[in-house]
A = this chain, B = another copy of it.
């Protein structure tokens, strides 16, 4: 229990079920003086929200966030910020069929075993619906990081099923111009064809999402346990459907030699960034590079073998509205979690060291 808070100094605590009256969270620890409005938070919420293309769930939610406290005359006051989003388009009747049975590969079974019973409507608390509040809360962190520290956090869909989007014509500018968060417009037709076929089949598929933070100063991260990369791993793995997390070269390091992996340093910059911006659990000043793997949702139309709450064998077919690829909408969520980690560690580093003490010059963040 009490696992619904994230962050030590910049703390986000959330509540809310998929089909409850509302979702909410409390952002505790935001420094005073940040200019913030509901509009600032809405931008990312709109990127995440459902029903914006035929390739995501058809549930229609405005996801309008309300700021209930902690902001006075347009500025944060240093007191906790209460955020609320009302649910408007629940369709709980779709779930009558699964109230007494478990979707294979879904949290239905584990929630039942952990809590003894469960809110089955739309998956209750286990639904990715709660990630709306992560995105809303992170909107505050993102703005603070950008305005006071020049830190930018951006993500994109790196792979969908077998389609890799990291092509030669990678372009950050187009990521928000298509419903897939794809960095190469040339791939959109292929992605659409693939998703249309998948939807028709009633199946789902996995995806990879990459997130990059630029402008992170050296020194963030608190070894030995609260390393920056360890907290990033925690944050990313806490996102629904994520099964793997990589920093920098990730699993490629297994077959790398030291001479190949180590990022050599020159006064003008690093010669590479295999480390992904983290050394010894502390940011190096290079871009922070994170990659995550998202599994296919288990809520599909194709029948699967399972059991009911009495332990009897049953066949499960999921109705209701679902994302055939949850990875698509995961991009703003992954950005959000990275923002929360960086904001928290920024405050922790500030506590330790309000003014940098080192006289060692900082290596420029560029690969020369």
CA distance A245 to B245 in the complex (A): 5
Q: Given contacts A32-B352, A231-B234, are A265 and B306 in contact (CB under 8 A)?
A: yes
* Interface residue A284 (Cβ < 8 Å from any Cβ of B): yes
Residues of B within 8 A of A203 (CB): 257-259
* Interface residue A191 (Cβ < 8 Å from any Cβ of B): no
Residues of B within 8 A of A69 (CB): 15-17, 20-24, 125
Interface residues in A340-362 by Cβ distance below 8 A to B read: 347-362
Interface residues in A195-233 by Cβ distance below 8 A to B read: 203-208, 218-227, 229-233
* Interface residue A244 (Cβ < 8 Å from any Cβ of B): yes
* Interface residue A81 (Cβ < 8 Å from any Cβ of B): yes
Residues of B within 8 A of A80 (CB): 4, 13-16, 125
* Interface residue A33 (Cβ < 8 Å from any Cβ of B): yes
Which stretch (A47-55, A104-112, A167-175, A180-188) binds chain B? Answer: A104-112
Interface residues in A232-272 by Cβ distance below 8 A to B read: 232-238, 240, 243-267, 271
Interface residues in A131-179 by Cβ distance below 8 A to B read: 159, 161-162
How far is the CB of A359 from the nearest CB of chain B, in Å? Answer: 8
Oligomer: number of copies: 4
* Contact (Cβ within 8 A) B208 A279: no
Q: Of B77, B110, B233, B306, which contacts A219 at CB under 8 A?
A: B110
CA distance A67 to B84 in the complex (A): 13
Q: Given contacts A4-B224, A15-B81, are A244 and B237 in contact (CB under 8 A)?
A: no
Interface residues in A1-41 by Cβ distance below 8 A to B read: 1-11, 13-17, 20-26, 28-33
* Contact (Cβ within 8 A) B9 A28: no
CA distance A276 to B293 in the complex (A): 14
**A1-B222, A32-B357, A205-B256 known, 18 other contacts, Cβ within 8 Å:** A1-B351, A8-B8, A23-B69, A78-B116, A109-B265, A109-B279, A113-B285, A115-B357, A130-B224, A227-B237, A230-B238, A243-B249, A244-B247, A258-B296, A266-B313, A307-B361, A311-B361, A351-B351
Instruction: Tell me how many residues of A have a C-beta within 8 Å of chain B.
Output: 165
CA distance A80 to B89 in the complex (A): 22
CA distance A305 to B7 in the complex (A): 37
Most chain B beta-carbon contacts within 10 A, residue among A6, A14, A78: A78
Residues of B within 8 A of A84 (CB): 24, 84
Q: Given contacts A1-B222, A124-B77, are A266 and B305 in contact (CB under 8 A)?
A: yes
Residues of B within 8 A of A96 (CB): none
* Contact (Cβ within 8 A) B11 A70: no
